[in-house]
Chains A and B, each alone.
Chain A
Amino acid sequence: MADIKSSVLEIIKDGNLDYKQKRHFLASIAESSVDYPEISPEADAAMHNKIICDLFEGNAPYRPRYVLPDYEKALKRGVKYLELEPPSDLDEAINFLSILYQHVPSITGYTVSLGNIDKLLMPYIGELSEEQIYKKIKLFWRYIDRTLPDAFVHANIGPEDNVIARNILRVERELKQVVPNLTLKYDSELTSESILTDAVNTVFETAKPHIANHKMISDDFGTEYGVVSCYNSLKIGGGSHTLVRLNLKKISELHIGDIDTFLNYTLTDYCNLTLEVIEARIRFLVEETRYYDTDFLAKEGIVSLDNFSAMFGFFGLAECVNILIGRKNSNLKYGHDDEANKLGLLILEKMRQVIDAKHLPYCEGNGGKAFLHAQSGIDTDIEETAGARIPIGEEPDLYSHINAVAPLHYLFNGGVSDIFHFDETAKRNPKAITDIIKVSFRKGMRMFTFNLADSEFIRITGYLVRRSDLKDFRIEGSRYGTTQFGANTMDNDSVDERSQKRIMSVENTPVTY
């Protein structure tokens, strides 16, 4: 209790946090004061030793981690709880969404999903001119940035080209805001070359959108999916109850024996412990909190328990592979040598197999199975590389890099990211980038994220911060919930000093109080 008191006071007195940020951290402390859902002593020990981690979701889940409301349905039917009638024009539709966004729960307090905005708004454009649409989108975008100041707030556009998507890109280039994060769904048969080029030119200005391989993700989900938060792909009208991740580096260090016994015992056992934690959290949320019986989104059918599943994350694959191979007195390296890359694939395939074999309750959104997610790391990961990425500074040349990571992506139905950096010369030749994106998708990459080596924005982990924001934070607070975590990431990884900038993705941040 004394601990809690001092943490509470520390937060209250922290001049770098604004009122909302304080309230958020205070709520986390309150939640951490209750007992964790019941898990076995082995799972508990693994969590204690930071082998398994729930990414600071809190002890008593009272809302799902990722909620993707079916905004289209809401717009069509209206929302009783919020006394919203179905809109009849673009102003009303934007106003409707602006209100609804404020009521979607998440771990950070800000919705992770804004929906496939162009598809949502296209039915309402009526006879409006392009300039009228532009003005409305611009105000909408400003509203989103100022009221949902969290870089995990994520909007989608595409795969079809349309006037809303075009104006979102235009406004992005103009406003250069951190929020929202943005993904363009790309399908060579549905997406025009010209909007892909427009998107690439937008990345040059604002380091977003990310490009998602629509065809590949649709094969896993059907076309009703969203890319939210930090490259997570999930079902619309559903989402993920929780995200629990396994530290592959740590378990390879603990392992005694050869690679076969690692796969069949150590890895399998820890995957099962992770699944146990996932199940305990799901049961608490569904059976104790009774979120899906009580929240208006569920009651009004804007989300449905049937569309939910859970996410099984992992990180530190590179270190895991290098450690296991190193024990065979070999210095082959993940990302560089075929044999090491093959071992990476073997480990992931085994994980997917163990995950798919486990039937989880309330996970009908994925046929009772968890999604495998290459988790993008958080700012306290110092020794582990995000997900299945190649360690920063060790990346091989572009082509080898793509060839090394692409074969793994089919396994990550819950999402993945590999970030590429290009130099300024790309600006004059966006076709060079669209070439590379298309090749990557042909080779099986699920998401493509890139940035220019010295853009004003810096992608610390999966979100953006302005360089100037990073500097200022040390002096005064920042409006953006995630800037502070960027500042930490910088301290740990010295991102700024990297010659070859490759930045990891953050899912969420530790509450360090």
Chain B
Amino acid sequence: MELKANISSILNSSFIDGPGNRMVIFFQGCQFNCIYCHNPHTIGLCKKCGSCVDNCPTQSLKLVEKEFIHEKESCICCDKCIRDCPEDSSPFYQQYTVTQLINEVRKNADFISGVTLSGGEVLLQADFVVLFIEALRCDEELNHLTVYIDSNGGVPIKQIQRVAQLADGFLIDLKAALNISHLKITGQSIENTLQTIKFLSSIEKLYEVRTVVVKGINDSEDEKEQYLKIYSSLKPGTKIYLLKMRKHGIRDKYSYLEEATDSEMLQMTRYYASKGIKVDVL
């Protein structure tokens, strides 16, 4: 059977996911479970348990022979289906073959510098990613497009290496600098991500490193010092961004998390600037 990818959504135009105007393809499924995840319904894969169908207040969802039928007319966009999913999944993600996804790219090809593969964690589907990039490179109409990978870097380094040969660049989410906060935020150790960053930087494919700042969790003095060490080790020209954790869209059980203020964000960039590292707030 032809390999298919689970795709949660596609954005035809984005200015913040790599150089130039880019199409962004979001892959479903993630091995991290970040407390502040803004799209928790992209973490898990659907087990077809049917609970979303039962919970829908307007009976707009049906599960017929393991396929969802979504009645858009009656759907009131209440999001109850995705909020209550026991798997942090969604009945709406789609499966694409390489050919199908390439055809989606073709629709936008005139307008874009390239494609960014994002997630979820896209490299959980590394086999598909490799086939996809190879197909893109072989397509005369599309082989001018660059491919960037937006990853949490937490997959085994072998997966990174396989894809790194083919991709033009990487955007890595560095969730924390200290292992203890990384565990707190993602539930996983930081080791793989640090290894990924080191490797990508050494082969000059690390385009950008970003961190979501969660007040009281990854913004301590110790943490900042550790960040500084990591940032200082990167090849010059690597873009470094901080993003403010927003409470909008995060799961109810994490509603206790606090947003940093604009001035706190600014202070952080000033701190790095004073050490000679340029960090911007995205």
| Cβ-based interface call for A399 (8 A) | yes
User: Which residues from B are CB-within-8-Å of A429?
Assistant: 15-16, 19-20
Q: How far is the CA of A451 from the CA of B280 in the complex (A)?
A: 23
A428 touching B282 in the complex, CB below 8 Å, given contacts A399-B13, A439-B111: yes
A436 touching B21 in the complex, CB below 8 Å, given contacts A399-B108, A428-B280, A428-B282: yes
| Cβ-based interface call for B112 (8 A) | yes
Q: Which residue of chain B lies nearest to A442 when distances are taken between CB atoms in the complex? A: B110
A431 touching B19 in the complex, CB below 8 Å, given contacts A398-B13, A399-B12: yes
Q: How far is the CA of A482 from the CA of B22 in the complex (A)?
A: 38
| Cβ-based interface call for B6 (8 A) | no
A443 in contact with B110 (CB, 8 Å): yes
Q: How far is the CA of A434 from the CA of B280 in the complex (A)?
A: 22
User: Which residues from A are CB-within-8-Å of B16?
Assistant: 425, 428-429
User: Which residues from B are CB-within-8-Å of A402?
Assistant: 111
B20 in contact with A431 (CB, 8 Å): yes
> Which listed residue (B12, B14, B15, B110) contacts A397, Cβ 8 A?
B12
B21 in contact with A435 (CB, 8 Å): yes
User: Which residues from A are CB-within-8-Å of B15?
Assistant: 422-423, 425-426, 428-429, 432-433
User: Which residues from B are CB-within-8-Å of A434?
Assistant: 20
A436 touching B111 in the complex, CB below 8 Å, given contacts A425-B16, A428-B15, A429-B19: yes
| Cβ-based interface call for B113 (8 A) | yes
Q: How far is the CA of A334 from the CA of B7 in the complex (A)?
A: 33
> Which listed residue (B12, B22, B110) contacts A439, Cβ 8 A?
B110
A400 to chain B minimum Cβ distance, whole angstroms, is: 10
Within 8 A of A (CB), among B1-29: 12-16, 19-22
Q: How far is the CA of A429 from the CA of B282 in the complex (A)?
A: 11
Q: How far is the CA of A435 from the CA of B19 in the complex (A)?
A: 10
A431 in contact with B113 (CB, 8 Å): yes
Q: How far is the CA of A425 from the CA of B113 in the complex (A)?
A: 16
User: Which residues from A are CB-within-8-Å of B14?
Assistant: 425
A-side interface residues, number (CB < 8 Å): 19
Count of chain A to chain B residue pairs whose CB atoms are closer than 8 Å in the complex: 47
Q: How far is the CA of A428 from the CA of B21 in the complex (A)?
A: 12
Q: How far is the CA of A423 from the CA of B20 in the complex (A)?
A: 14
A435 touching B110 in the complex, CB below 8 Å, given contacts A399-B12, A399-B13, A422-B15: no
Chain A 378-416 near chain B by CB (<8 Å), digits 1 or 0: 000000000000000000011100100000000000000
Q: How far is the CA of A284 from the CA of B112 in the complex (A)?
A: 52
B282 in contact with A435 (CB, 8 Å): no
B-side interface residues, number (CB < 8 Å): 16
Q: Which residue of chain A lies nearest to B280 when distances are taken between CB atoms in the complex? A: A428
A35 to chain B minimum Cβ distance, whole angstroms, is: 54
User: Which residues from A are CB-within-8-Å of B112?
Assistant: 435
Q: How far is the CA of A428 from the CA of B20 in the complex (A)?
A: 10
B111 in contact with A432 (CB, 8 Å): no
Question: Which has the most chain B C-beta neighbours within 10 Å: A397, A402, A425, A432?
Answer: A432
Q: Which residue of chain A lies nearest to B18 when distances are taken between CB atoms in the complex? A: A429
User: Which residues from A are CB-within-8-Å of B22?
Assistant: 432
Q: How far is the CA of A443 from the CA of B12 in the complex (A)?
A: 18
Q: Which residue of chain A lies nearest to B110 when distances are taken between CB atoms in the complex? A: A439
A435 in contact with B20 (CB, 8 Å): yes
Q: How far is the CA of A432 from the CA of B22 in the complex (A)?
A: 8
User: Which residues from B are CB-within-8-Å of A432?
Assistant: 15, 20-22, 113
Q: How far is the CA of A435 from the CA of B144 in the complex (A)?
A: 13
Q: How far is the CA of A442 from the CA of B109 in the complex (A)?
A: 13
Chain B 219-240 near chain A by CB (<8 Å), digits 1 or 0: 0000000000000000000000
Q: How far is the CA of A433 from the CA of B13 in the complex (A)?
A: 11
> Which listed residue (B20, B111, B113, B280) contacts A399, Cβ 8 A?
B111
User: Which residues from A are CB-within-8-Å of B12?
Assistant: 397, 399
Q: How far is the CA of A75 from the CA of B173 in the complex (A)?
A: 58
User: Which residues from B are CB-within-8-Å of A422?
Assistant: 15
Q: How far is the CA of A398 from the CA of B15 in the complex (A)?
A: 13
Within 8 A of B (CB), among A412-467: 422-423, 425-426, 428-429, 431-436, 439, 442-443
Q: Which residue of chain A lies nearest to B241 when distances are taken between CB atoms in the complex? A: A428
B258 to chain A minimum Cβ distance, whole angstroms, is: 24
A435 in contact with B113 (CB, 8 Å): yes
B113 to chain A minimum Cβ distance, whole angstroms, is: 5
Q: Which residue of chain A lies nearest to B13 when distances are taken between CB atoms in the complex? A: A398
Q: Which residue of chain A lies nearest to B282 when distances are taken between CB atoms in the complex? A: A428
Q: How far is the CA of A432 from the CA of B21 in the complex (A)?
A: 4
Q: Which residue of chain B lies nearest to A426 when distances are taken between CB atoms in the complex? A: B15
User: Which residues from B are CB-within-8-Å of A425?
Assistant: 14-16
Q: Which residue of chain A lies nearest to B17 when distances are taken between CB atoms in the complex? A: A429
Question: Which has the most chain B C-beta neighbours within 10 Å: A397, A398, A422, A435?
Answer: A435
Within 8 A of A (CB), among B113-144: 113
User: Which residues from B are CB-within-8-Å of A439?
Assistant: 110-111
User: Which residues from B are CB-within-8-Å of A423?
Assistant: 15
User: Which residues from B are CB-within-8-Å of A443?
Assistant: 110
User: Which residues from B are CB-within-8-Å of A398?
Assistant: 13, 111
Chain A 265-294 near chain B by CB (<8 Å), digits 1 or 0: 000000000000000000000000000000
Q: How far is the CA of A402 from the CA of B108 in the complex (A)?
A: 12
Q: How far is the CA of A341 from the CA of B19 in the complex (A)?
A: 33
Within 8 A of A (CB), among B58-115: 108, 110-113
Could you give 22 example pairs across A and B, Cβ below 8 Å?
Answer: A398-B111, A399-B13, A402-B111, A422-B15, A423-B15, A425-B15, A426-B15, A428-B15, A428-B280, A428-B282, A429-B16, A429-B20, A431-B20, A432-B15, A432-B20, A432-B113, A433-B15, A435-B20, A435-B112, A435-B113, A439-B110, A443-B110
The 6 A-B pairs of least Cβ separation, nearest first, read A432-B21, A432-B15, A435-B21, A431-B20, A425-B15, A429-B15
**Known A432-B15, A433-B21, A439-B111; further 9 A-B contacts with Cβ < 8 A:** A399-B108, A399-B111, A428-B16, A429-B16, A429-B19, A429-B20, A431-B113, A432-B20, A435-B111
Interface residues of B (CB under 8 A from A): 12-16, 19-22, 108, 110-113, 280, 282
